[in-house]
Structure 1
Amino acid sequence: MDVISLLLSIIFIFLSGLHFYWALFGVKDPTAVLPSGTDGTLKMKPGKVGTSIIALLLAFFAAIYLNPFLEIISFSELHYISVAIGILFLLRAVGDFKYLGFFKSIKQTNFAEMDRKYYAPLALTVSIMIFILELWR
């Protein structure tokens, strides 16, 4: 199970770093990473602060899965937080039934294609890994 914890922490460190990069330097093509309508208008504009908050949250997730190795957080009930993270990523994979997730209805945008290929499968994989980890911990 240590391998799964390590993989999860690597994924979250990578995603956190990517979000910090976007917060500092912007995104070259926002339609690839943010949901947009068929007319190309972005459906959310998180800005630097919002992107930084997500980056910090992802770094916190990484700390939770690094905790068995480094003992960063001394909280005995971390598995509840871990299960909540798993549920969050499962909900992300399922999506909002319109712009993101496996069951989205708008599928003709750049983001929809990237979501179908990369984002939703990654969210589902992370969720499954978390549930496996917590089931056998």
Structure 2
Amino acid sequence: MNIIHSILMATFSFLAFMHFYWAFGGKYGLEQAIPTRNKNEKGKLPGKLITIFVGLVLLFFGSIYLIKANFISTPISKSIINISSYIIPILFFIRVIGDFKYVGLFKKVTDTVFAKADTKIYIPLCSFISVLGFLSVIIIDYL
């Protein structure tokens, strides 16, 4: 089942790279990544530090799956790795559900650039991450 861990690690690495790219001035995909209230509004960009922080968290998530696949060893306790492997898919499942306004399956604002990208890209991506994360826990940890 290292394939599941490898896919998750690669996905989180790519997402982290995108956040670092945006933090250091990259523009590609940025308009689709920032929620807005209406079509004519520009999204408020988060600061560089918060964007870098999100990138680091995504790298941490990827490293959890590297460790679970035994690709790397770590001094981090096994219980932190196991707890994290439950928390990560839960977080992404919550992201799929959304905030009932701008993001997720139950969003009210649906006609913005972000909302359309959320429906086409982010909800499926977060669903994919959540399902693979849960499969990792169920199949690998219990079978």
Relative to the length of structure 2, the TM-score reads: 0.89
Structure 1: unaligned runs, 5 residues or longer: none
Identity in percent: 36
Equivalent residue number for residue 34 of structure 2: 34
CA distance in 2, matches of 1:100, 1:129: 21
Count residues in correspondence: 136
Identify which range, 74-83 or 93-102, moves more after superposition: 74-83
**Are the counterparts in 2 of residues 90 and 124 from structure 1 also a CA contact under 8 Å?**
yes
| Of 103, 124, 133, the match for 2:136 | 133
CA distance in 1, matches of 2:29, 2:4: 32
**Are the counterparts in 2 of residues 23 and 52 from structure 1 also a CA contact under 8 Å?**
yes
* Runs of 4+ off more than 4 Å: none
SS in 2 for 1:35: coil
Aligned pairs for 1:54-133 (under 5 A) are 54-67=54-67, 68-77=70-79, 78-133=81-136
CA distance in 1, matches of 2:118, 2:92: 13
User: CA-to-partner distance for each residue in 1:44-70, whole Å, 9 max, x for gaps?
Assistant: 531111100000000111111111211
CA distance in 2, matches of 1:84, 1:12: 15
Equivalent residue number for residue 53 of structure 1: 53
Cα deviation, residue 30, structure 1: 3.9
Amino acid at match of 1:93: V
RMSD over aligned CA atoms reads 1.4
SS in 1 for 2:24: helix
Identify if the C-alpha distance between structure 1 residues 13 and 30 changes in structure 2 by more than 3 Å, giving closer, same or farther: closer
CA distance in 1, matches of 2:37, 2:75: 41
Identify which range, 26-35 or 9-18, moves more after superposition: 26-35
Structure 2: unaligned runs, 5 residues or longer: none
Relative to the length of structure 1, the TM-score reads: 0.92
SS in 2 for 1:25: coil
Identify if the C-alpha distance between structure 1 residues 112 and 73 changes in structure 2 by more than 3 Å, giving closer, same or farther: farther
Identify if the C-alpha distance between structure 1 residues 82 and 29 changes in structure 2 by more than 3 Å, giving closer, same or farther: closer
